[in-house]
Amino acid sequence: MSAQLLEGKVIAGKIKEGLKQEIQSLKQKPKLVSVQVGENPASSVYIKSQRKNAENLGVEYMLETLDAGITQQALIELIGGLNEDASVSGIIIQLPLPKGIDHRLVMGALAPEKDAEGMHPENLGRVLLGEARICPCTAQAAMELIESTGIKLYGKEAVVVGHSEIVGKPLSMLLLNRFVTTTVCHIATGERGVLPEHVGRAEILVVAVGKAGLIKGEWIKPGAIVVDIGINRVGDQIVGDIEFEQAAQRAAFITPVPGGVGPLTVTMLMRNVVTASKLQQIN
Ligand code: NAD
CA 120 to chain centroid: 14
Residue 283 confidence (pLDDT): 57
Q: Which of 133, 93, 125 lies closest to 110, judged by CA?
A: 93
What ranges do the domains of the chain cover? Answer: 28-113, 136-262
Of 40-44, 178-182, 212-216, give the lowest mean pLDDT range. 40-44
Q: Is the minimum distance from the CB of 255 to ligand 1 under 6 angstroms? A: no
Probe target for ligand 1 pocket from 92, 229, 257, 269, with the most ligand atoms within 8 Å of CB: 229
Residue 246 confidence (pLDDT): 98
User: Per residue in 228-258, pLDDT tens?
Assistant: 999 999 999 999 999 999 999 999 999 999 9
Residue 130 confidence (pLDDT): 96
Q: Which of 234, 235, 240 lies closest to 261, judged by CA?
A: 240
Residue 280 confidence (pLDDT): 87
Selected from 3.40.50.2300, 3.40.50.620, 3.40.50.10860, 1.10.150.240, the CATH number assigned to the domain covering 28-113 reads: 3.40.50.10860
Percentage of the chain beyond pLDDT 90 is 96
Q: Is the minimum distance from the CB of 112 to ligand 1 under 6 angstroms? A: no
Residue 59 confidence (pLDDT): 98
User: Per residue in 97-155, pLDDT tens?
Assistant: 999 999 999 999 999 999 999 999 999 999 999 999 999 999 999 999 999 999 999 99
User: In 10 A of CB 240, how many CB atoms?
Assistant: 30
Which residue's alpha carbon is at the smallest distance from atom 5 of ligand 1? 209
Q: Is 136-262 the same fold as 28-113?
A: yes
Percentage of the chain beyond pLDDT 70 is 99
Mean pLDDT of all residues belonging to the chain: 96
Residue 281 confidence (pLDDT): 81
**Which of the four pLDDT bands, split at 50, 70 and 90, describes residue 41?**
confident
**The CATH fold of domain 136-262:** Rossmann fold (3.40.50)
Which residue's alpha carbon is at the smallest distance from atom 1 of ligand 1? 164
